[in-house]
Each structure stands twice: as structure tokens, then as C-alpha cells.
């Protein structure tokens, strides 16, 4: 079994950001990796209570792959509680956080972002990934005082799952896919095995934000990702525009919704899986990302194959969530070309 002193952990253990006064050479990116090519873009703002929301969401998914969402029903207090738990966790001394280090072949726990393994330059970021229950990892961090953290995370995951399903129902309807063709909706116990993940992200204050990068460009390996962040840092790539900053809304309850690769496949390329990256600032930034994915053995294919009309040509081959996630972990943005027909 690997131990954290092994070479295998080199790309998993984050820097002790408190201990550095400048950006180490191994963390220096090109200016073009950081600076946006255009002024901030105004992505659509949609209120889920608006009777027109399904139409507006469908349009936003076709043109942007990302939008701000209000009126979604997740209590503001719960969103604030999750952020304050994330702050508490990342504020722990590095030695304590390392007790819950993610293993080289695992996903849950403390560490760099899994995509770090595909880059030789380090990212200015530390993360904590929760798959299902947080209890095992939380016990490693807090020995006794872990229940409060777990209760908040559980509640948040339940409510986020219900919201993600609500959004996916809208997209299934827009695609004319009968929702009965999947058995993993409306399953509060998640016994059908949706591979849900909650990622707490921390971007520590950076002494030279034009040379460091928080998260390298990527699309999400999800159907849909629900993101909460109070401060700016997220940038999206739009064809014909380039990289632009996404300004968070001032509303404390606003979420940012972005589509992931599985919705692009499912929609046969109609909906955009948005390419995004995160830049850092002289101030601390936190974000919380909830990834909603089908069960690992579920085969994702354009319109689930049987709903393709005789004139529609499938742009992608059918791929299980597990197979695609493995391709992504090895090839990142090239994964798409490997499943394109």
C-alpha cells in the first residue's frame, strides 16, 4: 500500500500554501493560461419559479452550457453552512488534512484536483472530494467532532440531488427522451447507484495571481454540475469570444449550473459541455461543486439510441459512465475524440 511519503503522492499532496510568500517555479503558468481574452460575459440568469424556466434553460444549454440559477429552493442557510464547513476543513493544519489524503487510485478525500495528474505544472488549489457518505474521511480529520460536518453534507447532497433531477427532467423533456427510460431519478436512497460527487474547492490567497492558475481548463465529467461560489475566479471558453470571467450574482442563494460531458453525449451534441478554468486572487476563494452522474454501469448514448429519428446520425458511440470516466482520467479533453463516430 502506498504511503503519503511515496512518489505516487507527489501529484496528490497540495502545497502548504501558508508557508510560501511567492509562487514557486513549479506553479508558474503562462500569462495566456490566466488572463481572459474578453471582458466578463453575462451568462443567462434564470429563476426556476418562472413559468418560462424550461424554455430558458433549454436555450441556455444550447448556446452557453452554463447559467445562473435562482429560485431553486435550496435554503440559503444550508449553502452558507456548507461553505463554513469547507472553510473549517481547509483551515486545519496541513498535517491534519493529510490524515484524510486521497489515495492514488481513489477519488475521495483531501488533495489536489484529480486532473493535476495530467499536468506537469501545479495548480493553486486544494480540494476535498466526498462520494456518498463523508463519515470515513471526516473521522480521520476530526476524530470525535465530525457529526456536524456529516449532517450538513448529507442534507446538502440530498437537496442538490433533487435539484439536479429537476433540471435533468427539463432537459430530457426538451430532448423528447421519456424519463422512464432511466431508473435512477427520484430515488432518495440512491439505491440505483448514481455516481454523485461533492467537491469542496479552496483557492488560497495568491501572492502573484497573474502567474498561478487555480484549476486548469476542463469540462466536467457529469450530466450537470451545480456550483456555489461567492467570489469571482471562474472563467468559461466560448467559441468566437475566448476566455471570459463569469461574475457571480450578488444574491446569496444563486447557484451556477454548468452542463457536463454526459449531457453533451446524451443530447447528440445539441447541448454544450462548457470548457472552464479557475483563476486565483490575492484573497481566499472557496467553491462547492456537486456533480450529478448516472450509475457507473449506465450506457450513455445520443438520445439513449432508441429516441433517435431515422434521419438523426449519432455523433458519439455509446459509452458507460465508468468507461468514459476512465478515458477522461487518462486523456482529459481528448476523451471526446475517442468516442466520436
Ligand X SMILES: C=C1C[C@]23C[C@@]1(O)CC[C@H]2[C@@]12CCC[C@@](C)(C(=O)O1)[C@H]2[C@@H]3C(=O)O
Ligand Y SMILES: O=C(O)CCC(=O)C(=O)O
Q: Between 37 and 76, how does the x/- string for binding to ligand X read (CB under 6 A)?
A: ----------------------------------------
Residues lying near ligand Y in the complex (CB under 6 A) are found at 199, 201, 215, 220, 227, 229, 233-234, 276, 278, 287, 289
107 binds, among Fe ion, ligand Y, ligand X, none (CB under 5 to 8 A by kind): ligand X
| Start-to-end Cα distance in the chain | 40
Q: Does 279 bind ligand X (CB under 6 A)?
A: no
Catalytic residue at 277?
no
| Position among 81, 126, 165, 220 found at the interface with Fe ion (CB under 5 A) | 220
**229/332 with CB nearer ligand Y:** 229
The residue sitting closest to Fe ion, measured at its beta carbon, is 220
Instruction: Compare residues 58 and 219 and give the one whose CB is closer to ligand Y.
Output: 219
Check: CB of residue 244 under 8 Å from CB of residue 39: yes
Residues 6+ apart with CB under 8 A from 158: 188
Q: Which stretch binds ligand X (CB under 6 A): 66-74, 82-90, 217-225, 306-314?
A: 217-225
How far apart CA 294 and CA 276 sit, in angstroms, is 22
Q: Which does 221 bind (CB under 5 to 8 A by kind): ligand X, ligand Y, Fe ion, none?
A: ligand X
Query: What is the number of alpha carbons within 13 Å of residue 57 lying toward its C-beta?
Result: 27
Give backbone dihedrals phi and psi of 164, rounded to 5 degrees, phi first.
Answer: -60, -40
Q: Quote the CA–CA distance of 295 and 189 in Å, as a whole number.
A: 13
227 is in the binding site of which of ligand X, Fe ion, ligand Y, none (Cβ under 5 to 8 A by kind)?
ligand Y
> In angstroms, what CA-CA distances link 171 with 167, 260, 267?
7, 13, 9
> Residue 136: which residues within 8 A CB-CB, separation 6 or more?
108
Question: Of 218, 210, 286, 241, whose CA–CA distance to 42 is shortest?
Answer: 241
Q: Is 81 in the site for Fe ion (CB under 5 A)?
A: no
x/- track of binding to ligand X for residues 307-336 (CB under 6 A): ---------------------x--------
Query: Shortest gap between Cβ of 310 and ligand Y (angstroms)?
Result: 38
Note whether 234 and 278 are within 8 A (CB): yes
Q: Which residue number has the CB closest to ligand Y?
A: 287
Would you count residue 161 as binding ligand X (CB under 6 A)?
no
- Residue 261 interacts with Fe ion (CB under 5 A): yes or no: no
Q: How many helices (H) and strands (E) are present in the chain, helices listed first?
A: 8, 14
Nearer to ligand X, 72 or 218 (CB): 218
Alpha helices in 233-286 (DSSP H): 261-266
Sequence-distant (6+) residues with CB within 8 A of 309 are: none
Least Å distance between CB 178 and ligand Y? Answer: 30
C-alpha cell at 284: 481566499
Q: Which of ligand Y, ligand X, Fe ion, none does residue 115 bind to, with CB < 5 to 8 Å depending on kind?
A: ligand X
The one catalytic residue among 102, 211, 264, 285: 285
Which of 157, 199, 202, 301 binds ligand X (CB under 6 A)? It is 199
Which CB atom, from 142 or from 161, has the smaller least distance to ligand Y?
A: 161
Handedness of CA 2, 325, 85, 228 (dihedral sign): positive
- The residues that are catalytic are 285
- Residues binding ligand X (CB under 6 A): 107, 113-115, 127, 129, 197, 199, 215, 218, 220-222, 291, 328
Amino acid at each position: 500500500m502506498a504511503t503519503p511519503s511515496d512518489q505516487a503522492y507527489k501529484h496528490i499532496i497540495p502545497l502548504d500554501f501558508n508557508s510560501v510568500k511567492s509562487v514557486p517555479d513549479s506553479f508558474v503558468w503562462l500569462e495566456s493560461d490566466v488572463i481572459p481574452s474578453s471582458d466578463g460575459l453575462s451568462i443567462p440568469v434564470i429563476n426556476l419559479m418562472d413559468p418560462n424556466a424550461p424554455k430558458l434553460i433549454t436555450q441556455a444549454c444550447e448556446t452557453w452550457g452554463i447559467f445562473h440559477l435562482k429560485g431553486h429552493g435550496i435554503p440559503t442557510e444550508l449553502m452558507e453552512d456548507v461553505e463554513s464547513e469547507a472553510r473549517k476543513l481547509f483551515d486545519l493544519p496541513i498535517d491534519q488534512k493529510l490524515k484524510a489524503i486521497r489515495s492514488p487510485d481513489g477519488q475521495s478525500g483531501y488533495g489536489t484536483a484529480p486532473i493535476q495528474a495530467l499536468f506537469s505544472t501545479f495548480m493553486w488549489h486544494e480540494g476535498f472530494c466526498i462520494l456518498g457518505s463523508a463519515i470515513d474521511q471526516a473521522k480521520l480529520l476530526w476524530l470525535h467532532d465530525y457529526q456536524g460536518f456529516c449532517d450538513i453534507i448529507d442534507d446538502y447532497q440530498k437537496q442538490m440531488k433533487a435539484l439536479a433531477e429537476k433540471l435533468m427532467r427539463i432537459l430530457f423533456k426538451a430532448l423528447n427522451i421519456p424519463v422512464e427510460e432511466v431508473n435512477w431519478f427520484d430515488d432518495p436512497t440512491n439505491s440505483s447507484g448514481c455516481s454523485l460527487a461533492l467537491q469542496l474547492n479552496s483557492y488560497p490567497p495568491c501572492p502573484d495571481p497573474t502567474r498561478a492558475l487555480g484549476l486548469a481548463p476542463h469540462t466536467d465529467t457529469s450530466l450537470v454540475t451545480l456550483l456555489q461560489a461567492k467570489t469571482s475566479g471562474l472563467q468559461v471558453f466560448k467559441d468566437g469570444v475566448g476566455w471570459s470571467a463569469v461574475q457571480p450574482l450578488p444574491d446569496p442563494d444563486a447557484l451556477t449550473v454548468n452542463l457536463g460531458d454526459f449531457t453533451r453525449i446524451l443530447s447528440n451534441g445539441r447541448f454544450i459541455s462548457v470548457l472552464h478554468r479557475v483563476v486565483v486572487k490575492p484573497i481566499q476563494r472557496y467553491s462547492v461543486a456537486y456533480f450529478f452522474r448516472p450509475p457507473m454501469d449506465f450506457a450513455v448514448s445520443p438520445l439513449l439510441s432508441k429516441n433517435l429519428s431515422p434521419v438523426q446520425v449519432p455523433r458519439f458511440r455509446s459509452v458507460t459512465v465508468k468507461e468514459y470516466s476512465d478515458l477522461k482520467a487518462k486523456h482529459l479533453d481528448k476523451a471526446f475524440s475517442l468516442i466520436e463516430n
